[in-house]
Amino acid sequence: MTNKADCLFCNVIEDHDMEISLENETCYFLRKESEQDVLVGSGLIIPKKHKENVFELSKEEWEDTWNLLQRARELLDETFSPDGYSIGWNTGKAGGQSVFHSHLHVIPRFYDEPFAGKGIRHWIKKQENKRDLNT
């Protein structure tokens, strides 16, 4: 869906809004400066190679994602002392994916947030989201 030359995450080195905090052989953990005001400490784990969605990751990329997630948690715990985390993938347009380069959201959560205690399924499990199967 996305041309690699135009892909935001294929060009993280050139994007001055993104800071690579950690990396390993196949993945980066990066944070977007523009999102730190509301989502303090939040970041993304992305494969270095262009993979459109999570289902395209190799076994090595899965393992490196897991390893980087552990390192990211240690870094965020030390830096921000969050009370919890929301971690998740959006896959496909209907699933909420807007950048078609696989990325795992890592979001520190804090008790003093207005939406503290609301997990990643909070909005999609609302009655208003029920599909009308009769149409």
Average pLDDT, the chain: 90
CA-CA distance, 58 to 47, in Å (whole number)?
A: 10
Q: With respect to residue 135, please indicate whether it lies within any of the assigned structural domains.
A: no
Choosing from 16, 50, 101, 103, which is the catalytic residue? 103
**Eight-state DSSP code of residue 64:** H
Q: With respect to residue 118, please indicate whether it lies within any of the assigned structural domains.
A: yes
Q: Is 103 a catalytic residue?
A: yes
Q: Quick one: pLDDT at residue 23? A: 94
Q: With respect to residue 85, please indicate whether it lies within any of the assigned structural domains.
A: yes
Domain range spanning residue 94? 4-129
Residue 1 pLDDT exceeds 60: no
CATH classification at residue 99: 3.30.428.10
Question: What's the whole-number mean pLDDT along residues 97-114?
Answer: 94
H or E stretch including 61? helix 59-80
Per-residue pLDDT tens over the stretch 6-37: 788 888 777 777 888 999 999 999 998 888 88
Residue 27 CA: distances (Å) to CA of 3, 68, 132:
19, 8, 40
Domain count, the chain: 1
Q: What is the total residue count of the chain?
A: 135
